[in-house]
Structure 1
């Protein structure tokens, strides 16, 4: 006798004999999809293998294999001498989701959740995407300068090396001791940091480092001091932690330490965030006098200094200034940066340097959000330090970036000096420009987009007291830079603001 669900099954199942997918898997996929959509209810009995094979015109063993797979995935139960019964429209743990290729995806997955959750306006994505051929950025390296084949050789060699197998066959938030050993030596030689492996936390990025720092250091209501103009991602992280942000002026000597003292005399300050080498976004260097003053203030008032040295490798006019962390004898500075910025993005990593007691606490949080890490990458980077490849890459790329800086400076001076002012940066990969305040920079960005040049909104700083824009030159060669500035010049001419 024909099963009462044979007729519905006829409408639900369709065999495509020209498809590359096995027929029994087509049956599995379509029955599981019907169960998920509620078309086959829990407890319903499916037709027997003989009758279904007759209806579908397939071999009985094909249907048997499909039923066995459905049972293995938790969609049905096979009862000897009784039949095959639908269990539930919710698969068992580990069951694979079956999608019917002929069904639109919007019918398979809900648009909204059925519960409440927190939404954050603070963490809205500030980065914008564009189809424009040309785009400014805030100062990132050019991947085209990287010798990808040589980098991949280091990586694959460490992946294949037998002595590394045990290191790769475990989850750990400790990272590669070899890399930390090499990195500590590198930071000692290049930045004067007299540290050991116990003083280093290896992360994926500077932003991850800051997120972990905020988890360890900040409670809701804590006061964090930043520059009046500061890195937007850092501000987002601190605000998300519930900290109260206080700003101090930034001039040609960096953060105004007199203003920091005044704030400390008014209320308890937990942290001061500073980009000492090249202040973001203005690129100015914190002067020697203010470095000394800031360290003294930290000791006097008991706040932590988070020193972000995001662009330390890129210095053109003189020997790089050592970070404040190199002169810190009281444990007041948490130093962070990124390693390998002259390499391809996948070969870069972040790091934090601090006294070992707080590093141990930070490692707990790293173990939650990045338990696995990337031991192979760290081993490869450690080997590149040991063999001097990192220094070779840095010296080679630095010459090119210095030429690009000079070219952008010439273009700004010759073509846009009527609209803006700037100083050639001593280091980094971006120029800070201040504009005539009659120019609406948001409107300029729209006009440039029409010209095929994208200016991300996170590069623009405009209010009643300032109109500023950070223009990166690292990722553009000279021809691309010339074209981009020409497009901007054309957009300004069309705006007729001056």
Structure 2
């Protein structure tokens, strides 16, 4: 008789009922070949005594195994392993430690039993909002989000209209109300000329970048970015098999002269830009370079993927209009997000482009994510329609403007020799370059020990270069929190 008391490990602290745990483990023993096809199991009373369980628990477990097809009950004879299971040759199981044994009992494993390709360039830290002080990548302050207005809009969704329509399948391109309102808003604020048919709603700008990359790029295509750029974009380009080339970025943005040289020597399929505030350095692409970039796109036939991630936050005069506003030949794919404008948890982004491209992006989106969140999209659309969203933008713009000025003054007065920076015209972060003698990684580690989270900036370094810089986000912290953060930074430096 098998040593069931040793083979079966039941944990009454788990939320899974004991009879289900037992049934699952009997199934595992069958699949492992420990229990063979046609083998008779102990009687319910006998197994109950062995495992110190109530007999009804064993009965329920056997019934579950029969229902799952692992066991079969033979009238007057007992319970058996089903005959139709293929015979498995048991393999010796080597358990290296108690944790591995515990994982095995829970049915989990670290590695699959099949091969797959691991792409090193996808290994990138996931940014999250940490407790305590933080100088992040440029996140908004979620405490300022229009929660009351959103709550009212959500309630109206439940009260208004046909429930069958509200809670059924919707348009893959996004909720009609949000597409309509976004089209109006983008036309008013960014000088675009769109209709709702030019707008696809996505779950954040990263989905828009992914869809555009999958539709527009093929293995071997060439994409040009800045030497410093957003890794989330280049990861998507490389995943398609495209080759990524880079051009220098100076105080006026992307080096368009170098781009022109690339165009003369090889076909370029796409250029990725963040022209309003270049990521990560926050510089604005000079108007003359914008005009030439559009001219090159028309001349050589490449697409411009424009990520306008923080257009709504500009602190001087009216912000420079996006490239898409001057595009008359359909060369620009315009990507944006409300994540930075409201809160990261509200996963609402958008892609704006010619209708033929939007239709194709929607077809691809359908096999990845059937549709977005209709309730959230409706609520955001309502906020645009009522003007609440515009009021929120005006309020946060004033708040972030004051925080930028206060933070830059703190850096100047408290860290004059350690940090160099240019006060950004907009956005939610400062590009800070630290003394070359300073070890950025060690500094970030020491800051974390004192309760301050900030990035070490190593992932911003182009190949072979040491920028010793990082983005210090000021928007998500109050002025008092910024003072505490700079005090910690001064101590660890």
What band does the TM-score fall into relative to the shorter chain?
A: 0.7 to 0.9
- Does the CA-based 8 Å contact 1:335-1:354 persist in structure 2? yes
SS of the equivalent of 1:221 reads coil
How far did residue 29 of structure 1 move?
A: 5.1
Q: Against the structure 1 CA distance between its residues 61 and 434, is the aligned structure 2 distance closer, same or farther, given a 3 Å change threshold?
A: closer
| Structure 1 unpaired stretches of 5+ | 92-102, 493-498
How far did residue 279 of structure 1 move?
A: 0.9
CA–CA separation in structure 1 for the residues paired with 2:33 and 2:189: 65
How far did residue 224 of structure 1 move?
A: 1.1
Root mean square deviation, CA, Å = 3.3
How far did residue 342 of structure 1 move?
A: 3.0
Q: For residue 489 of structure 1, what is the aligned residue in structure 2?
A: 490
Tell which deviates more after alignment, 411-420 or 306-315: 411-420
- Does the CA-based 8 Å contact 2:455-2:470 persist in structure 1? no
How far did residue 154 of structure 1 move?
A: 2.4
Q: For residue 103 of structure 2, what is the aligned residue in structure 1?
A: 105
- Does the CA-based 8 Å contact 1:42-1:87 persist in structure 2? yes
CA–CA separation in structure 2 for the residues paired with 1:132 and 1:14: 38
How far did residue 376 of structure 1 move?
A: 1.6
- Does the CA-based 8 Å contact 1:24-1:66 persist in structure 2? yes
The match for 2:35 among 28, 40, 45 is: 40
How far did residue 251 of structure 1 move?
A: 2.1
Q: For residue 473 of structure 2, what is the aligned residue in structure 1?
A: 472
Q: For residue 273 of structure 1, what is the aligned residue in structure 2?
A: 272
CA–CA separation in structure 2 for the residues paired with 1:447 and 1:484: 13
Q: Against the structure 1 CA distance between its residues 156 and 29, is the aligned structure 2 distance closer, same or farther, given a 3 Å change threshold?
A: farther
Tell which deviates more after alignment, 148-157 or 412-421: 148-157
Q: For residue 495 of structure 1, what is the aligned residue in structure 2?
A: none
SS of the equivalent of 1:381 reads helix
How far did residue 347 of structure 1 move?
A: 2.2
Deviations 1:290-331 (A, max 9, x none): 211111111111111111100011111111222111121101
**Counterpart mapping for 1:393-404 below 5 A:** 393-404=392-403
Query: Is residue 320 from structure 1 mapped to residue 319 from structure 2 by the alignment?
Result: yes
Aligned length: 478
- Does the CA-based 8 Å contact 1:46-1:83 persist in structure 2? yes
Query: Is residue 391 from structure 1 mapped to residue 417 from structure 2 by the alignment?
Result: no
- Does the CA-based 8 Å contact 2:456-2:470 persist in structure 1? no
How far did residue 482 of structure 1 move?
A: 1.3
Q: For residue 138 of structure 1, what is the aligned residue in structure 2?
A: 137
TM-score, scaled to structure 1: 0.86
**Counterpart mapping for 1:75-474 below 5 A:** 75-87=70-82, 104-107=102-105, 108-127=107-126, 133-159=132-158, 161-170=160-169, 173-339=172-338, 341-458=340-457, 461-462=460-461, 464=465, 466-474=467-475
Q: Against the structure 1 CA distance between its residues 61 and 420, is the aligned structure 2 distance closer, same or farther, given a 3 Å change threshold?
A: closer
| Structure 2 unpaired stretches of 5+ | 87-100
Q: Against the structure 1 CA distance between its residues 177 and 79, is the aligned structure 2 distance closer, same or farther, given a 3 Å change threshold?
A: farther
Tell which deviates more after alignment, 444-453 or 190-199: 444-453
CA–CA separation in structure 2 for the residues paired with 1:423 and 1:68: 71
Q: Against the structure 1 CA distance between its residues 40 and 425, is the aligned structure 2 distance closer, same or farther, given a 3 Å change threshold?
A: same
Q: Against the structure 1 CA distance between its residues 368 and 421, is the aligned structure 2 distance closer, same or farther, given a 3 Å change threshold?
A: same
